């Protein structure tokens, strides 16, 4: 997670936590049409943001693992297919049409 995001989130949490418990700050914020209810709502939204961000990072990690697994499997399959085509080319040397049926172009 980017450091600036973490610092911003910590500052926002601190602000809303302190503001929602300090009557003096609430009085000053009320002049800006920010109510105690607004502060409580902001605290709730921050908690929801943290949960959503955590879920996003978890899913992003799972996606990266799945991609690595897929790439590994495809590499193994590619190796196997290369070997298969090499053997098929030798085995079907006298039957080029069958080799073409496997998707390999035959010269001549």
Tell me: pLDDT of 75 over 90.
Answer: yes
CA distance 58 to 8: 21
Q: What angle do CA 60, 61, 66 make, to 5 degrees?
A: 95
CA distance 99 to 15: 72
Residue 107 lies in a domain: no
- Total domain count, the chain: 1
Whole-number pLDDT of residue 103: 84
State pTM to two decimals.
0.62
Task: Output the six-digit token pair for 14.
Answer: 């601190």
Residue 54 lies in a domain: yes
Whole-number pLDDT of residue 1: 62
Residue 106 lies in a domain: no
């Amino acid at each position: 997670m980017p450091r600036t995001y973490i610092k911003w989130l910590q500052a926002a949490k601190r602000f809303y936590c302190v503001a929602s418990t300090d009557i003096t700050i609430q009085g000053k914020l009320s002049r800006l049409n920010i109510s105690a209810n607004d502060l409580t709502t902001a605290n709730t939204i921050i908690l929801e943001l943290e949960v959503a961000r955590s879920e996003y990072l978890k899913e992003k990690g799972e996606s990266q693992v799945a991609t690595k697994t897929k790439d590994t499997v495809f590499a193994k399959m590619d190796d196997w297919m290369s070997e298969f085509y090499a053997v098929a080319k030798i085995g079907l040397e006298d039957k080029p049409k069958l080799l073409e049926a496997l998707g390999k172009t035959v010269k001549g």
